[in-house]
Structure 1
Amino acid sequence: MKLKDPAEVAEIMQVTYLSDRQQFIVPFFNEQFIVDCSRQTIYNAADGLVPGIGARMLILHYLTFFASRQEPVCKWVSLKEIPGGGMLFYPAFYKDSIRGLIKAFGRQSALLLACAKQMGGQPAGFGTVSAVFQVFPKIPLCVLIWEGDEEVPANATVLFDPSIEHFLHIESVIGVGSYLANKLIKLAGMDMVPGN
């Protein structure tokens, strides 16, 4: 981050930079995080809590990786279609993230919308049920569920705007998809426990 002008980072990546405090304010899902450059800390603006290492890495990568001024192109593609290794890494992504989404929502797809709402997700018109999430200002993701029954197996996927290749390297593209899938799966688990 020291190699890039903070004001330029803020402008290109659509975040706020407070020069007097040397802080970025970064929207991440439906929360605001403070990246304090002088103290080298990241914390939630609402409660001061430090997010997990995965979230911290994704926030830092969002601020530092971009190489050009790009805008989302407002279409959806699979991880397989992301250059730089998407096809290569897809089997592991499927095993680690997609399978969990199928297990959590494949027989109760409506639960996806309840869980998505807690993360700022908005219903979309794909599959049996789908939701679009604004991960960062320039990075939307879409989760789709096709509900299964005794005859047809359930399926799921995570879709990306193809512009993501300009904002994150492939490991972080996978990371952001996995982060979202894991959060939704955890929320589904909490919602299935009586009394929660």
Structure 2
Amino acid sequence: MNKENNYEICYENMCKEFVKYDPEEVAKRSRAYYDSEKKQFTLTCFNKEYLISYPEGNIVLKNNEDKDPSVDINTMLMLKMLMLSYLYRATNSSLTNKWVPLRELEGVGHAYQGFAKKGIDKLVEFFGHKGDLFLEAGLKLGGKKVDVGDVGIKIDILPNVPMAFGLWTADEEFPADATILYDCSAVKELHVEDLAGLCSEAADEIIRAAKSIHN
């Protein structure tokens, strides 16, 4: 069975579970908007609005002009699973404003460190000498400047899941480096595996945003 089929099966199984959840309660916990007449949620993910039907769990972009042709089927399925997982799990918890790397989140540990490294490596490889483009891409995703690294951005991946990304650009003395940070409350909003996967997914989104700036 190929990866795409695995993702499709996982997504279909998550959709089947969706009917068990009360939509009004889901909206309250996730900060998504629920239209009871249309029976659909509106949820913002990476600064794009998605429509999610209830109880089917079908997900489409609200604005077709937001569609990115460079996003393949697997990536879209992963984003859809991320959104459903968030709707299932979100608690509308208060942000702690304490930023930590993935390994320091409760229940994570070093087992997932490879996920963080993958995302960091992508950012370093693409933006190592392009601090201005890194900032521009982050702002395009609805981010705000923060004091992390030489250039830092905070992006609300989902309504209650902010992430911070810091870049140290390369110079004559030191190679480029990067960091990916979470608010400590993130484990109350998403499963640990989703948070781990976000390191790479978020890096990909920032890189896609950067590429679109010059198209």
Letter paired with 1:81: E
Instruction: Note if 1:71 corresponds to 2:94.
Output: yes
Deviation at 1:141, TM superposition (A): 0.6
Corresponding residue of 1:167: 189
Superposed counterparts of 1:18-167, under 5 Å: 18-47=35-64, 52-66=76-90, 68=91, 70-94=93-117, 96-167=118-189
- Residues 53-106 of structure 1: CA deviation (Å, up to 9, x unaligned): 11101110110123x452221221100111223421112430x21111011112
Query: Structure 2: 5+ residue runs without aligned partners?
Result: 1-17, 68-72
Structure 1: any 5+ residue segments left out of the alignment?
none
What letter corresponds to residue 84 of structure 2 in structure 1? Answer: L
Q: Larger deviation: 122-131 or 81-90?
A: 81-90
More helix by share: 2
2:201 aligned with 1:179, yes or no? yes
8 Å CA contact 1:22, 1:36 repeated in 2: yes
- C-alpha separation in 1, matches of 2:169 and 2:183: 24
| Maintained 8 Å contact 2:19/2:54 | no
TM-score by length of 1: 0.88
SS of the aligned residue for 2:51 comes to: strand
Q: Give the CA RMSD over aligned residues.
A: 2.1
Q: What is the percentage of aligned positions where both structures have the same residue?
A: 29
**One-letter amino acid of the structure 1 residue matched with residue 95 of structure 2:** P
d(CA) in 1 for partners of 2:56, 2:21: 18
Q: Give the secondary structure class of the aligned counterpart of 1:52.
A: helix
- SS of equivalent residue, structure 2 residue 99: coil
- Aligned length in residues: 191
Amino acid paired to 2:78:
G
Counterpart Cα distance in 1 of 2:77 and 2:178? 26
Match of 2:24, SS? helix
Q: In structure 2, what is the equivalent of residue 2 of structure 1?
A: 19
- Measured at CA, do residues 69 and 38 of structure 1 come closer, stay the same or move farther in structure 2, by a change above 3 Å? closer
One-letter identity of the residue aligned with 2:87: L
Pair 1:14 & 2:59 matched = no
1:32 touches 1:44 (CA, 8 Å); kept in 2?
Answer: yes
